[in-house]
Amino acid sequence: MPPKGKGGKGGKGAASGSADAEKKEKAPKGGTAVKVRHILCEKHGKCMEAMEKLKAGVRFSEVASQYSEDKARQGGDLGWMTRGSMVGPFQEAAFALAVSSMDKPVYTDPPVKTKFGYHIIMVEGKK
């Protein structure tokens, strides 16, 4: 079977999926990065409290400053992170998220569990 997006016969369904296949294939080669914010809580309960605040409309950066338990307390901003520099579940979630803004954040719900705790992740940019 030929790799996705490389030659092959363009059947009927190829047009709709080809753009996604190309993006996924191009991404790792280009050293893709995401501009990430997160809220990290060791305890699931605390993370869920933070999630409730977000759902109530409180700005992501404010919730991160109040609840996050890591060095990214300045609004949860982790800056640009490249593929391979994040732990598996965090990276998968970050690259799967749509780019959003502080005014209308798109974040992981439910939180993502890693060896560090529970993360609510938001992506502000991709390159």
In the predicted structure, residue 36 carries a pLDDT above the cut 60? yes
Residues 61-118 have pLDDT tens digits of 999 999 999 876 588 999 999 999 999 999 999 999 999 998 899 999 999 999 999 9
Contact in structure between 100 and 71 (CB atoms under 8 Å)? no
- Which has more confidence, 74 or 41? 41
Q: How sure is the predictor about 51, in pLDDT bands with cuts at 50, 70 and 90?
A: very high
Triad 50, 55, 58: Cα angle to 5°: 70
In the predicted structure, residue 27 carries a pLDDT above the cut 50? no
